[in-house]
Amino acid sequence: MMGTTGWFETVAEAQRRAAKRLPKSVYSALVAGSERGISVDDNTAAFAELGFAPHVAGLCAKRDTSTTVMGQSISLPVFISPTGVQAVHPDGEVAVARAAAARGTAMSLSSFASKPVEDVAAANPQTFFQMYWTGSRDELVARMERARAAGAVGLIVTTDWSFSHGRDWGSPSIPERMDLRAMIRFAPEGIARPRWLFDFARAAKVPDLTAPNLSSDGGPAPTFFGAYGEWMQTPLPTWEDIAWLREQWGGPFMLKGVMRVDDAKRAVDAGVSAISVSNHGGNNLDGTPAPIRALPAIADAVGGDVEVVLDGGVRRGGDVVKALALGARAVMLGRAYLWGLAAGGQAGVENVLDIMRSGIDSALLGLGHSSIHDLGPADLLIPNGFGRDLGIDA
Ligand SMILES: Cc1cc2nc3c(=O)[nH]c(=O)nc-3n(C[C@H](O)[C@H](O)[C@H](O)COP(=O)(O)O)c2cc1C
């Protein structure tokens, strides 16, 4: 069912194929945001508000899209954001990691992912491991050390999760089984649903949902539901905790989900090497504006101190160029590659990365630049009132 389906020309087409291929509930779990969907909608709408200011002559015959992020050289300023739902395809995160490696870029693996970090890091030596703040300090360190031993070259810590489980679009319809109902009700952003529904459709049986990267030693994996329950009960991290974990890791360290200038400054003080300006793809606190609106003020404030990455709403190479022009070093993709994965497995993810690369190249050509490093606000038409400078006076 999930074989290669041939080339597609835009992410929108990958999305259409994903919609056709996946069970309806699985597809909606990938697409939808939390609550009313204000944030998820703004993530793409904000990119559409920005325009370009192209030149017509004196353009550059050669354009360079390569850069570095978290100590890794990447061939384009785009890499994979961690998501916990890649079991939409049997090869899941391993297929994504291979595709990223084939296109010369980095992979991020969610600790709620379906494949062990050992397999993913073997498929892409540029793998970052993502953790939520769950479990004891010893467990956090053990999990991190397992990822390090597996070859992970950077750590991403995501702390923008506020345990909101309501969605106006409704929950996927599922058979009457209490345990599954409970699991689905408490599942963050549909991590559990897609895998279960897909396997259910194919095998007509209930799979054993586990999170293999949450066991520190590669031993028995906790169930997904158990893991989520533990997360909900874990004391929430302070800025000192972030600094502590950063010290334990020692290497490249990203704090993901920063939306305010004051938080960005605290992240710098905590010693992080990178932040991602992100609203969790609109899956967290609904009403949080699009990260592209918060980016300029944050990049202004801390761009000289840490690497500023953006994720949320990136659907084409032009979006990447807009983010870079407003101060991002690189962007991470979420839904775009998930749709590619659903549409065509590894080849589908490669296809999405190729779309990004050629879109970036077209925009660079039109804007008269030979390198992504030459992009700046003068390349854009930025409507009045576009920005949302959060936490700037604090
Ligand atoms: C289905 C789904 C699952 C996600 N799971 C995680 C996760 O486990 N850890 C994490 O840090 N972010 C997670 N995210 C957020 C993404 O890493 C990223 O911030 C977001 O998808 C970017 O927005 P985009 O989908 O518009 O590209 C998830 C997002 C989606 C859509």
pLDDT of the residue at 181 = 47
Binding site membership of 42 for ligand 1 (Cβ less than 6 Å): no
Q: How far is the CA of 254 from the centre of ligand 1 (A)?
A: 15
Binding site membership of 83 for ligand 1 (Cβ less than 6 Å): yes
What is the number of the ligand 1 atom nearest to the C-alpha of 311? Answer: 22
pLDDT of the residue at 194 = 46
Cα–Cα distance for residue pair 33/293, rounded to 1 Å: 18
> Would the pLDDT of 34 be above 80?
yes
> Would the pLDDT of 171 be above 50?
yes
Cα–Cα distance for residue pair 331/256, rounded to 1 Å: 12
Ligand 1 site-directed mutation target among 280, 288, 316, 335, most atoms within 8 Å of CB: 280
Cα–Cα distance for residue pair 348/388, rounded to 1 Å: 34
Q: How confident is the model at residue 259 (pLDDT cuts 50, 70, 90)?
A: very high
Binding site membership of 387 for ligand 1 (Cβ less than 6 Å): no
Q: Rounded to two decimals, what is the model's pTM?
A: 0.92
Q: How far is the CA of 62 from the centre of ligand 1 (A)?
A: 33
Q: pLDDT tens digits, residue range 145-158?
A: 999 999 999 999 99
pLDDT of the residue at 192 = 43
**Ramachandran angles phi, psi of 333, nearest 5°:** -105, 140
Q: pLDDT tens digits, residue range 303-360?
A: 999 999 999 999 999 999 999 999 999 999 999 999 999 999 999 999 999 999 999 9
Q: Which helix (H) or strand (E) holds 201?
A: helix 192-203
Taken in order 182, 28, 9, 40, the sign of the CA dihedral is negative
Phi-psi region of 364 (alpha: psi -120 to 50; beta: other; left: phi over 0): alpha
pLDDT of the residue at 1 = 37
The neighbour count for residue 23, using CB atoms within 10 Å, is: 17
What is the number of the ligand 1 atom nearest to the C-alpha of 82? Answer: 17
Residue 51 CA to chain centroid, in angstroms? 24
Residues 291-314, mean pLDDT to the nearest whole number:
98
Q: Specify the amino acid at residue 2.
A: M
For 20, which DSSP code? H
pLDDT of the residue at 240 = 98
- Pairing between strand 307-311 and 154-158? unpaired
What is the number of the ligand 1 atom nearest to the C-alpha of 112? Answer: 8
> Would the pLDDT of 136 be above 90?
yes
What is the number of the ligand 1 atom nearest to the C-alpha of 282? Answer: 23
Average pLDDT, the chain: 89
Exposure class string for 353-379: b at 16+ Cβ within 10 A, else e: bbbbbebbbebbbbbbbeebebbeeeb
The residue nearest atom 7 of ligand 1, judged by CA position, is 83
> Would the pLDDT of 180 be above 60?
no
209 neighbors 113 (Cβ within 8 angstroms) = no
Q: Name the least confident of 99-113, 226-240, 285-299, 317-331.
A: 226-240
Q: pLDDT tens digits, residue range 196-243?
A: 344 334 443 344 467 889 887 767 888 777 788 889 999 999 999 999
Q: How far is the CA of 61 from the centre of ligand 1 (A)?
A: 36
The residue nearest atom 28 of ligand 1, judged by CA position, is 83
**Ramachandran angles phi, psi of 126, nearest 5°:** -100, 60
Q: Is 89 marked active-site?
A: no
Q: How far, CA to CA in Å, does 236 sit from each of 62, 172, 185, 310?
A: 49, 29, 22, 24
> Would the pLDDT of 95 be above 90?
yes
What is the number of the ligand 1 atom nearest to the C-alpha of 278? Answer: 19
Binding site membership of 357 for ligand 1 (Cβ less than 6 Å): no
The residue nearest atom 2 of ligand 1, judged by CA position, is 83
48 neighbors 354 (Cβ within 8 angstroms) = no
> Would the pLDDT of 126 be above 90?
yes
Binding site membership of 135 for ligand 1 (Cβ less than 6 Å): no
Binding site membership of 22 for ligand 1 (Cβ less than 6 Å): no
The residue nearest atom 13 of ligand 1, judged by CA position, is 83
Partner residues linked to 274 by β-bridges:
254, 307
Binding site membership of 307 for ligand 1 (Cβ less than 6 Å): no
Cα–Cα distance for residue pair 352/336, rounded to 1 Å: 7
Q: In what order do the strands lie in the sheet with 330-333?
A: 78-80, 330-333, 307-311, 274-277, 253-258, 154-158, 127-132, 107-110
pLDDT of the residue at 5 = 53
Q: pLDDT tens digits, residue range 367-383?
A: 999 999 999 999 999 99
Residues 272-276, mean pLDDT to the nearest whole number:
98
Phi-psi region of 68 (alpha: psi -120 to 50; beta: other; left: phi over 0): beta
**DSSP of 278-343, one letter per residue?**
--GGGTSSTTPPPHHHHHHHHHHHHTTTSEEEEESS--SHHHHHHHHHTT-SEEEESHHHHHHHHH
11 neighbors 316 (Cβ within 8 angstroms) = yes
**DSSP of 24-69, one letter per residue?**
HHHHHHHH--SBT-HHHHHHHHHHHH-EE---SSS--S--B--EEE
Question: What percent of the chain stands above pLDDT 90?
Answer: 73
